[in-house]
Structure 1
Amino acid sequence: MSGTTQQTRPQQPRQQPSQQQGGAGGGREPMRAAPERTGSGAVPVVGVLLALCLLALAVALVQHALVALGVIGGPAWPQVLVEGVRGTAPATWMVPVGVVLALVGLWLALRVALGRRTRSEIRLRSRTAVSVEPRDLARLASSAARDVDGVLGARSSADRRKVVVRVQTTGEGSVPGAVQQAVAERLRAVERQPSVKVRVEGGDR
């Protein structure tokens, strides 16, 4: 009688779902933050100017074509312009004017190509791209100010660098300092801390 031997493999411990997928906190790399949204800068202004110039040129060409076809009477506008310039002698004032116009055109081109885009959002301290607008900071500041004892009312204005809180108080001298501390604490989540200024309004100063 021949005997058979069975080899058993050691069982591997089953991994929990959280271990297989990297867990909720430590295994995965944090999500890369998206770039901040920026405004259009000077592009709309230059675009409008170019569009107006092209529109004026198109109107002049259409009027010239209608005159040439006999649809309307009168001299063609491009022809009037050419006749007005014809025979003009060079003058010394043309050189500085031409240089100034060339510099203005170069400045506009560089302003559009290399100018900084406007930024209106404020990044928060987060692994993901979370941002708020200045008006949201103003709402947070006003809410924090109203929670301070001695504050009768509060309204705020904000931009990317500063927050101004205007409060009506009961007249206690310690209220402005408490408001500034409360607002700064409420805005701790902001990536770049804005400066906080508190102004007391009304007759309770």
Structure 2
Amino acid sequence: MPAAPEASGSGRIGVVGPVLAALLLATGLLLLREALVVLGAVSGAPWLPAAAEGLRGLAPAWWLVPAGLAVALVGLWLLVSALRPRSRRTLPLTSGTGVFLHTRDVARLAAGAAREVDGVLSASATATRRAVGVTVHGTADVREEVARAVTETLTPLRTAPRVDVRVRTGRDDERNDR
């Protein structure tokens, strides 16, 4: 069985898609209303001819150039955003079957490994594909023990991320409170 491909996140244009879909839906509803009015299925006057008649007497204005430029730049940004690679937030394991861990799961594993070290009162972690940051509150300087435990826990990853450990003791908290 071939290995599974690495999962990718949503594209960077994830917010724009629903907005454009809503605008397209509104345009479709407007055109449907116009068609029903013209066919006589709905009473009322058509809106589009009145809107076109209102635009008939407009002359060129200075503000149309910057507005057109702004619209062109937004369109270019949308095009570049749509063509950019999707985000990758998973890390492959050493298995040959294509098993991956999400970066938030790597952070959870790192925080759990740090909590198991003697002298650690609490731990939190953040992770990217290249680094894991662990912050621990402890009774002593347990930096080396935490780094060793986290590194050992993350050995099943194909490429081990860099581990950065910050230790806060009671004395540090007292200094930070002042």
* TM > 0.5 fold call: yes
The partner residue of 2:70 within 96, 100, 125 is: 100
| Aligned position for 1:72 | 43
TM-score by length of 2: 0.79
Gaps of 5+ in 1: 1-30
**Structure (1 or 2) with the larger CA radius of gyration:** 1
- Name the SS of the counterpart of 2:112 in structure 1: helix
Q: Percent identity?
A: 48
| Aligned position for 2:167 | 200
2:13, 2:78 within 8 Å by CA — same for their partners in 1?
no
RMSD value, Cα: 2.5
* Residues 102 and 153 of structure 1: CA distance in aligned 2, closer, same or farther (over 3 Å): closer
Which stretch shows the higher mean deviation, 42-51 or 116-125? 42-51
- Name the SS of the counterpart of 1:156 in structure 2: strand
Report the CA distance between 1:202 and its aligned residue.
Answer: 6.2
Q: Deviations over 1:1-41 (max 9, x none)?
A: xxxxxxxxxxxxxxxxxxxxxxxxxxxxxx75432111230
2:10, 2:86 within 8 Å by CA — same for their partners in 1?
yes
The partner residue of 1:116 within 44, 66, 85 is: 85
| Aligned position for 1:127 | 96
TM-score by length of 1: 0.70
| Aligned position for 1:84 | 54
- Name the SS of the counterpart of 1:152 in structure 2: strand
Which of the pair has the greater relative contact order for Cα pairs under 8 Å at 6+ separation?
Answer: 2
* Residues 140 and 65 of structure 1: CA distance in aligned 2, closer, same or farther (over 3 Å): same
Report the CA distance between 1:123 and its aligned residue.
Answer: 1.0
Equivalent AA in structure 1 for residue 110 of structure 2: A
Instruction: Map 1:24-39 to 2 at 5 A.
Output: 33-39=3-9
- Name the SS of the counterpart of 2:125 in structure 1: strand
User: 2:129 matched to 1:160?
Assistant: yes
Distance 2:169 2:41 in 1: 73
Q: Deviations over 1:120-166 (max 9, x none)?
A: 21112233312111232123212321232222332323232332223
Name the structure with the higher helix share.
2
Which stretch shows the higher mean deviation, 149-158 or 51-60? 149-158
Report the CA distance between 1:117 and its aligned residue.
Answer: 0.4
2:138, 2:170 within 8 Å by CA — same for their partners in 1?
no
